Structure formats: C-alpha cells, structure tokens
Amino acid sequence: MYTSKDAIKVRVYETYLAKEKMNSDLFDFQVRLPKYLLLETYAEILHVIEPDSMVVQLSNVKIIKNDYEKLIVGDRIELGFLAVGDEVFEGNYKDFMFSLVGKEAETGIYRISSPVFEENRVRGFQYPLIE
C-alpha cells in the first residue's frame, strides 16, 4: 500500500520506464491518501510523462465540439483539487481515477492537451482523464 506522493511517483515512473506507455495500468496498485492529493499526484505524473497534457480544475467552462474533438475554455482554479474532496481514499488508485471519468461538469476537473494560457483563462483539447 502506497501512502505518500513520493512513493507513488517512484512506483509509477519505474513502471513507466519498463513499459514506456502511459495508460491506466501504471496506476493499478493500492493507495491510502486524501483524494485531492491522489489527483494532484496524478496531475504531476501526467505532466512529466506527457508534458503537452495537464490536469486542471476550471470554472466558467465553455465546450466547443466538432466531429473529432472538444475544445475546452475556462478559468483556472488555483486552489488545488479540493473539488474531489479531502477525505482519505483507501483502495486501488486506478479505480479512484476511473471514478472521476465523466464527472468533469460536476468537479471542473479536465485533462487538456496543448494548453494555451491567457491570464487566468486556459484553453485546450479535452482528453479522457485516464485511459
């Protein structure tokens, strides 16, 4: 069971170096940490492995869709990821991350690629939080 951000990062990076593929299997292990710290850790890991992607919390979101992708525009919330809660989660990390998929409108948590910043506004293409 992993109970610190640093231990989780070491585990994921070592597994990634062995497989060289970013997917949900990297997070298939047991953890015990507050939910917002798990999401913060995931966001940091994702940005290291895929520097052109980021996980952000947004408000005042506008979504522009076409046949292939969604462009997300919103105001970045800098207070961390408290929208997912501060209670301690104990269980499979991958299951926790999948529990957030499809709840973007509720939590304001988005994974975007090719982000562009304009003061406090962020825009980029939406990707699934975890695959």
Using the predicted structure, report yes or no on whether residue 20 has a pLDDT greater than 80. Answer: no
pLDDT value for 21: 80
Residue 111 banded pLDDT, cuts 50, 70, 90:
very high
- Identify whether the C-beta of residue 86 lies closer than 8 Å to the C-beta of residue 36: yes
For residue 73, what are the β-bridge partners? 62, 123
Residue 22 banded pLDDT, cuts 50, 70, 90:
confident
Residue 67 banded pLDDT, cuts 50, 70, 90:
confident
Whole-number Å distance between alpha carbons of 41 and 8: 8
For residue 112, what are the β-bridge partners? 54, 126
This prediction's pTM: 0.91
Cα–Cα distances in angstroms (integers) from residue 10 to residues 34, 45, 118, 130, in the given order: 18, 10, 33, 19
